[in-house]
Amino acid sequence: MARLSSRHISQLHLYQVLHAVRRNGVPMSRAEIGVPTGLSQPAVSSLTRRLLESGALVEVGVRPAAGGGRRERELALNPDFVWVVGVNISLYQLTVTLTDFAGVVRRTRSAPLVTPMQKTALVRRLVKEVRACVTDAGGALITARLAGVGVALPGFVDSMGDVVHWSAVFATDGPTAVRNFSASIAKELGVPVFVENEANIRALAEQWFGQAARLSNVAVVTLEQGLGLGMMINGELYRGRAGLAAELGHMQIEAGGRQCHCGKRGCLEAYVAHYAIVQQGQEAGLLPAGDLPPQAIEAAYDRLACAARDGNSQALQIFERQGRQLGIWIGNVVNLLAPQLVILDGGRQVAIELFEAPLRAAMDDAMALPHRGSVPLVIGHEGSEAWARGAASLVLQRLDESAEIVASASRHDFDDASNQTAVRRTAI
**Predicted local confidence at residue 63, as pLDDT:** 82
| Average pLDDT estimate for 179-184 | 97
pLDDT for 231 equals: 94
- The winner for highest mean pLDDT among 2-16, 289-303, 408-422 is 289-303
pLDDT above 90: residue 394? no
Q: Say what the pLDDT of residue 67 is.
A: 64
Give every CB contact of residue 369 below 8 A, 6+ residues apart in sequence. Answer: none
Whether 254 shows a pLDDT value over 90: the answer reads yes
Average pLDDT over residues 28-36: 94
Residue 414 has pLDDT above 50, yes or no: no
Residue 372 has pLDDT above 50, yes or no: yes
Provide CB contacts within 8 A for 150, sequence distance 6+. 84, 85, 86, 87, 193, 194, 195, 196, 201, 390, 391, 392, 393, 394, 395
pLDDT, tens digit (0-9, with 9 covering 90-100), for 279-300 = 999 999 999 999 999 889 999 9
Higher pLDDT, 404 or 51: 51
Quick one: pLDDT band at residue 64, thresholds 50, 70, 90?
confident
Q: What is the pLDDT of residues 205-231, one digit of tens each?
A: 888 878 888 899 999 999 998 999 999
Q: What is the pLDDT of residue 336?
A: 95
At 84, the pLDDT band (50, 70, 90 cuts) reads very high
Q: What is the pTM of this model?
A: 0.86
**What domains are there in the chain, each with its CATH number?**
6-77 (1.10.10.10), 83-201+385-422 (3.30.420.40), 211-382 (3.30.420.40)
Cβ-based burial of 23 (10 A; exposed 0-12, middle 13-18, buried ≥19): middle
**Which pLDDT belongs to residue 363?**
98
pLDDT of the residue at 236: 87
**Nearest-angstrom CA–CA distance, 59 and 56:** 10
Q: Quick: pLDDT tens for 96-146.
A: 999 999 888 899 999 999 999 999 999 999 999 999 999 988 877 677 889
**Predicted confidence (pLDDT) at residue 49 exceeds the cutoff of 80:** yes
pLDDT at 14: 87
Please write the tens of the pLDDT for every residue from 337-354: 999 999 999 876 778 999
**Banded pLDDT at 4 (limits 50, 70, 90):** low
The whole-number pLDDT of residue 69 equals 66
pLDDT of residue 405 exceeding 50: no
Do 169 and 115 contact (CB within 8 A), yes or no?
A: yes
Mean pLDDT of the 258-275 span:
96
